[in-house]
Amino acid sequence: MLRGFYTAASGMIAQQRFQEALANNIANVNTPGYKADQPTLRAFPELLLRQMGGGNELPTERGFKIPGNHPVGSLNTGVYVQENVPKFVQGDIRETGISTDMALINGVLPDEDGGLFFTVQNDAGEQRYTRNGNFTVDGQGFLVASQGYYVLDQSGNRIQTNGLDFNVNQDGIVQLDGQNVPLGIAYTADATQMAKEGNGLFNGEAGAVPAGATYTIQQGFLESSNVDSLQAMTQMMESYRMFETNQRVLKAYDESMGKAVNEVGRLR
């Protein structure tokens, strides 16, 4: 019976964390370039039950009998949220008309789980990656992301625009007074291995775009969040029902335990 308590409780905790991930997705439904989290549920290691004895004793030469056993079956003891995996499906592209906004549109990717990102530099001078092209120009004339991080070019240098009067072609080349500065677009063969750091930033292994990958940069556009709000709300309701079910199971176990202690075990 105590195992039932732990199983029901683990189900409630897992559904609570599932709901937290869904709530975060819904909160970022209007965040440019946001990638929805997909919580993955996993069962605890299974227990293999065997029946011991039960008339299946094996005789030996010395007259001893070895209790026989045979498998009964497996038993799961609970469930938990293993991890939240970002879903790197391309979000809708919407026009803003702002020259500093840029949408990174996937073309042909050589790997099924591959991903493309803008490269930025955080406060510690480290490279990070983002799909949020909601850029602007700071007081010193540098192109910066919405977090205030510097947008980098292909060589890892900050991009000096000296204002808002610049053009970006479809190949990601920033055209500045006769200068052509390629945006720092990074590629990873497995985008699911990229870890979220908040503020739309990702950390992980990414490098130069391989020859087989294609993409397009659209200036004056933004990639929207890929969160499906209707689907997220439906999943949230399903998760809530599962939470309620585990709650009722836990209450039933509690009532049974109360009867076992107060009625069955009463001395007369």
Percent of the chain with pLDDT over 90: 56
Domain ranges of the chain: 2-85+228-264, 93-223
* pLDDT of 156: 92
Helix and strand element counts for the chain (H, E): 2, 21
Residues in the chain: 268
- CA dist., res. 106 & res. 29, Å (int): 20
pTM, two decimal places: 0.78
Distance between CA atoms of residues 125 and 243, nearest Å: 44
Bridge-based pairing state of the strands 201-203 and 195-198: antiparallel
pLDDT greater than 80 at residue 91 = yes
Higher pLDDT, 42 or 48: 42
- pLDDT 10s digits, 122-143: 888 899 999 999 999 998 999 9
Q: Residue 148's pLDDT is what? A: 86
The structure tokens listed for 85 are 């995996």
Q: What is the pLDDT of residue 10?
A: 87
CA atoms within 13 Å, Cβ hemisphere of 214: 3
Looking at residues 25-51, what average pLDDT do you find? 82
pLDDT in tens, 58-72: 555 665 655 656 666
